[in-house]
Amino acid sequence: MPRILPLAGALILAAAAATVAQASPASDAWVSRTGAALQSQVGAAGLSDDGKAVQLRVKVAPDGAGALMIAGSSGSRDFDDAVKAAARKADIVRPPAELVGRTVTFRLGDSSAVATGAN
């Protein structure tokens, strides 16, 4: 069952594949910190006040975030690209080993955005 975490409303850490996985407190904390860092950069770029949101999939690398991919468009490619560029500037700390190689999807942009899914 997904767990709801605080972060500009909530962060949802979903189960991986078809099994339900319980995230550790360290993983929960990393997801929360990373979501806040990403949203902070989006806000600093002036992209959190026009009502659009993007789902950004982050591949977790040993040193933080690896590849960033648009998993759900806002409907504006320019906005999506601007959010992705802003997110690349986020200071992402080293993740717990259990998250390396997995992906986490964050919903970024509008100030009520949430982050969803880890697998």
Backbone angles phi and psi of 108, in degrees to 5: -120, 155
pTM: 0.74
What pLDDT digit, counting tens, does each position of 20-68 carry? 355 789 999 999 999 999 999 999 999 887 789 999 999 999 998 889 9
Q: What is the CATH number of the domain that holds 39?
A: 3.30.1150.10
Total domains in the fold of the chain: 1
Residue range(s) defining the domain that contains residue 68: 3-118
Residue 117 — very low, low, confident or very high, per pLDDT cuts 50/70/90?
Answer: low
CA-CA distance, 22 to 86, in Å (whole number)?
30
d(CA 12, CA 37): 16
Query: Cα–Cα distance between 1 and 22 in angstroms, integer?
Result: 8
